[in-house]
Structure 1
């Protein structure tokens, strides 16, 4: 049975690949983008099965209006994929106020507005699936991506709480957590803070790590996983994408637990009774 799927940031990268995968199998897709010209190829190929909408997710009113248009056009709203977002590269000290606020406006608040708009519709239907595109950097961190890390950690917190709140209404929530992929996320789609020379060593080490062979996955290889997630009767709260994600997460969490246990006597004493 076909589904109606609303996906933000569908003009390129994961968003466009996934939108086309849904359309190929006969789903209805509401695809949002800042520039509708980027969706012309999908519109010409899939016709009435796609509803292209111009949207800047930073605008709360426009986000609510887009969700309402999707429901009015297709009559249902089965899946929402919050994919819109971008990376901000720069150390914490280098990041300006505007850069930090803009990162959160898109990666966190844009996602929040779309989620809030979809919930009443899904609640009334008695079913729905909200999928948030997070990152492995929502559970681990890298230097030079501190504000991006923070935005994805915020997405993780929002979504894990949301999952507990809306399960009673038949609404599922999932987080997609990819490792690095060969998209333009780190290129044309990214923002860069003005560099300070004192951090050149950090940048050099970061660049060397990022040049490792086999580090980045093939974006096209993610489509089957996303289709399985959308079709799952009991979807997971978190879905890793890529071969590096789980080993990295395990390494980091083992280190965290060891440190917490090493300091547990101090923690217990601080309880006071």
Structure 2
């Protein structure tokens, strides 16, 4: 099952790349997206191998219903790729309650609903794979994308717990920390806050930092995901992207250095 409920969806971006690679390899795919129209050409190209389902993952009951249809389509679920996601771009103070809740409904709760819906099937059949797509930036917050990082960090934590809980049933969970790919996340997949003038200088600085570098295409990452899904003993976490791997290690080292620099202060307390 290829699951994705928001931009970019299984109809384009990473979801589309995963679906195309799986189909080309002879796999059968249930592809989920809000708009399944762009999947028609794949349905025609791979008759009997692709079942498109329209879904908004923020709808918990809709997720459970869709998973039942997905399981019935081919008789079982072997690999579930959960990559629903959108971007809420702006400063923390600028975001409205409605924007924050809508963002978390997709980026965090949507992924939780998918996990809850597919696990009874995976457990009953004695195994399966759940790939939780998060982000290489989920280890810490950054100005203008704080809520995106928060949702992915929450999903990271829950997925770590989930992996421990279901391993005894033969179900393998991997947190897939994706690097930057040309998925349309910062365009069609973005909700933008109403900017406050007080943050303009920082906003300009952050936009300059993001730069105009060209991100690789999603289909360059898809073969890694397919190989990951086939591993008999997959890792609990995987960073996807060479440059992203270096960045994550640099961020982890900076965090460790910060802790060490204040170690004397931390050790004053006995707890």
Partner of 1:107: 107
How is 1:1-273 mapped onto 2 (pairs within 5 angstroms)? 5-8=1-4, 9-213=9-213, 216-271=215-270
Count of residues in Structure 1 that have an aligned counterpart in Structure 2 = 267
State how far apart, in whole Å, the 1-side matches of 2:196 and 2:92 are.
Answer: 11
| Structure 1 consecutive aligned stretches of length 4 or more whose deviation exceeds 6 Å | none
How far the C-alpha of 1:212 sits from its partner, in A, is 5.0
Structure scoring higher RCO (CA < 8 A, sep ≥ 6) equals 2
Report the 3-state secondary structure (helix = DSSP H, G, I; strand = E; otherwise coil) of the residue aligned with 1:31: strand
State how far apart, in whole Å, the 2-side matches of 1:213 and 1:12 are.
Answer: 21
How far the C-alpha of 1:265 sits from its partner, in A, is 3.1
RMSD of the TM alignment (CA)? 1.4
What TM-score does the superposition give when structure 2 sets the normalisation length?
0.94
Contact 2:88–2:191 at 8 Å: present in 1 too?
Answer: yes
Shifted more, 101-110 versus 199-208: the winner is 199-208
Q: What are structure 1's unaligned runs of at least 5 residues? A: none
The CA deviation string for residues 42-90 of structure 1, in whole angstroms up to 9 with x for no partner, is: 1111121111111110111110111111111211111111111111100
State how far apart, in whole Å, the 1-side matches of 2:55 and 2:212 are.
Answer: 36
Q: What are structure 2's unaligned runs of at least 5 residues? A: none
Contact 2:2–2:10 at 8 Å: present in 1 too?
Answer: no
What TM-score does the superposition give when structure 1 sets the normalisation length?
0.94
CA separation of 1:34/1:213 partners in 2, compared to 1, >3 Å: closer, same or farther? closer
The CA deviation string for residues 219-242 of structure 1, in whole angstroms up to 9 with x for no partner, is: 221111111111111111112122
Contact 1:6–1:77 at 8 Å: present in 2 too?
Answer: no
State how far apart, in whole Å, the 2-side matches of 1:159 and 1:190 are.
Answer: 24
Contact 1:59–1:110 at 8 Å: present in 2 too?
Answer: yes
Contact 2:84–2:106 at 8 Å: present in 1 too?
Answer: yes
State how far apart, in whole Å, the 1-side matches of 2:129 and 2:193 are.
Answer: 35
Contact 2:2–2:18 at 8 Å: present in 1 too?
Answer: no
Report the 3-state secondary structure (helix = DSSP H, G, I; strand = E; otherwise coil) of the residue aligned with 2:92: coil
Contact 1:7–1:29 at 8 Å: present in 2 too?
Answer: no
Report the 3-state secondary structure (helix = DSSP H, G, I; strand = E; otherwise coil) of the residue aligned with 1:136: coil
How far the C-alpha of 1:129 sits from its partner, in A, is 0.6
Report the 3-state secondary structure (helix = DSSP H, G, I; strand = E; otherwise coil) of the residue aligned with 2:32: strand
